[in-house]
Structure 1
Amino acid sequence: MNKQLKTVPKFANEAQEREFWESHDSTDHLDWSKANKVTLPNLKPTTKTISLRLPQHLLDAIKAAANSRDVPYQSLIKIWLQEKLHVH
């Protein structure tokens, strides 16, 4: 079944475009089955600072493990969390 697609309007600025897409379904305007997957290798994920309270003995053990691997302990914590969640 071929659906007749609506044309995407021209926008004067990004704010107008954002407002339009917030109230319209993109599948009425685009055929997502023909979309190409892209890789953005230089895109850095946004980070958020958190406060994490750990018992001193646990923090000492993490720091020792990080030192033996020659990585910063906060980086090692992130690596372990990614491995546990299987997020890459």
Structure 2
Amino acid sequence: MSKIKTTPKFKTEAEERAFWEKHDSSDYVDWKQAQSVAMSNLKPSTKTISLRLPEGLLDSIKIEANKRDMPYQSLIKSWLADDVKESRDV
């Protein structure tokens, strides 16, 4: 096993970025000792889409969302996620 090098001290983030662009981290970190970390507070990235719905359907969704005291787009996402999960479980 090769010896792990000492990571240099950096004066700026730009200096550190430039260093890691040219060096392999496995020379400085023993990745076999790494442990998995759950970052539960991170929000998944989202993508904006355009969805055309009949006005009557959108009005019904907004009424249902209002009853649940939540934004209508969040309700739509919740319904879609539930439906996809349900179809996977079948």
Q: TM-score range by the shorter chain?
A: 0.5 to 0.7
How far is the alpha carbon of 1:11 from its aligned partner? 0.5
Counterpart mapping for 1:1-88 below 5 A: 2-40=1-39, 43-45=41-43, 50-56=48-54, 57-68=56-67, 70=68, 71-83=70-82, 84=84
TM-score calculated relative to the size of structure 2: 0.60
Tell me how large the CA RMSD over aligned residues is: 3.1
Unaligned ranges ≥5, structure 2:
none
1:17 is paired with a residue of what secondary structure?
helix
The Cα of 1:81 is off from its aligned counterpart by 4.7
Query: Mind listing any 5+ residue stretches in structure 1 that lack a counterpart?
Result: none
Deviates more, 1:76-85 or 1:11-20: 76-85
Sequence identity percentage:
43
Partner amino acid for 1:23?
K
Structure of higher CA gyration radius: 2
**Shift of the alpha carbon at 1:48?**
5.6
Deviation at 1:66, TM superposition (A): 2.8
1:51/1:24 Cα in 2 relative to 1: closer, same or farther (>3 Å)?
Answer: same
Using the TM superposition, give the Cα deviation of residue 77 of structure 1 relative to its aligned residue in structure 2, in angstroms: 2.7
Aligned residues: 83
